[in-house]
Amino acid sequence: MVEPDSPAFRAARIFDAWFRRNERPTTAMSVSAELSFSELLLRWAADHGRNALPWHPRAGEPADPYRVWVSEIMLQQTQLSTMLPYYHRFVARFPSVRDLALAQESEVLAAWSGLGYYARARNLLAASRAIERGGCMPRSASEWEALPGVGASTAAAIASVTRCERAAVLDGNVRRVFARQVCATEPWGSAALARRLQVEAQARLPLEARQMPAYTQAIMDLGATVCLPRRPACSRCPVAGSCLAFAREQTDRFPVPADKRARPTRQAWWLLMQHEGQWAFLRRPPQGLWGGLLTLPELASAPPRSLEARRSGHPDLQSVGEIVHDFTHFTLKAAVFRAQPQSQQDVQTLMSDSLADDPSAMVWITPERALQEGLPAPLRRLVVSLGRDE
């Protein structure tokens, strides 16, 4: 029997305390020396993954590259729950790559309206036309990456799911998983971090190519549902045993955040002209912010006060509120002013204060018709709100 005051007893107490601090979850998702990272992940995903997404093939059927591609493009910068209704409407409207390639840009933007980041829709259209010219869908990650709007991670996701290619997906959620696995000290968004995590991700791929579709979905699911930015559910993580950040109780420190810069604010003044149930919209140029979408004319400066406007013969303007919308690099604050011109001269007077390069691009349509067109998300909310009040 070991004496309570003996060196052996004290050593056992020290070891027991150390073990309790460093023990791993003891569920079926714990690390086993006999199972690899990918095997643990695949076992977990069989029961806990998102295994019934609409672009997933039925048992025994191959994945549809077109639907997988559309889903991956839509999931760029957009959460799954937000994206799903848009996905269903989009593939119902354009059920094949040929249908998409034959569509007009305005039709594609209208189907995309409200999802944001409209360059994705224009790139989808351009890529579909390139695919039609080539005569077949891409067969590898490198071929996918050659298309507009398809980066390395998106290409890897599509090729691994549709062709079982051993290509490592590295979307934002997956990068967070691997940054915590290795306690990567490189700042988020840096080229150094991207290079390091690419190596880590590639090293953990399953050896059998046939497992790639399930593995790719599993690692994306893990990042989206368990390894969360805040309060990760480490007790439910199948690979917590190999995670350095978990072992060191430092999951809140990784990934290392990028240097944050103050987001500038851009002030704008929008003109809402209404006449006999129709509103005036401008079609924006194909390139640039909200390219190809309908927007309201933008005034060069804050409009004159009502009394000053009447004295100068300027049609009266009524403030109807302000729109605030965050972009990646700036915040837009747009004050909206309503006018009800009674003549073409009134329209010309109002438009003389606008920034429109081509006033001939203005169209008069009902708000109901506008909602069927491609509208930026903040303007769509405004149209719905004002239409409800009228």
Name the residues annotated as catalytic.
72
Distance, CA of 108 to CA of 120 (rounded, Å) = 10
- Cis-peptide, bond into residue 255, ω within 30° of zero: yes
Say what the alpha-carbon torsion angle 62, 67, 72, 77 is, to the nearest 10 degrees.
-160
DSSP bridge partners of 331: 265, 326
> Could you tell me the sign of the dihedral formed by the alpha carbons of 314, 320, 324, 327, in that order?
negative
Q: Which amino acid is at 271?
A: L
20 exposure class (CB count in 10 Å sphere: 0-12, 13-18, 19+): exposed
Q: What is the DSSP string of 333-344?
A: EEEEEEE---SH
DSSP bridge partners of 116: none
DSSP bridge partners of 287: none
Distance, CA of 279 to CA of 261 (rounded, Å) = 38
Q: What is the DSSP string of 264-313?
A: PEEEEEEEEEEETTEEEEEEPPSSSTTTT-EE--EESSPPPPHHHHHHTT
Name the nearest CA neighbour of 337 among 278, 266, 275, 273: 273
Q: Which two tokens stand for residue 93?
A: 């409207």
Distance, CA of 162 to CA of 155 (rounded, Å) = 11
Cβ atoms of 177 and 222 within 8 Å: the answer is: yes
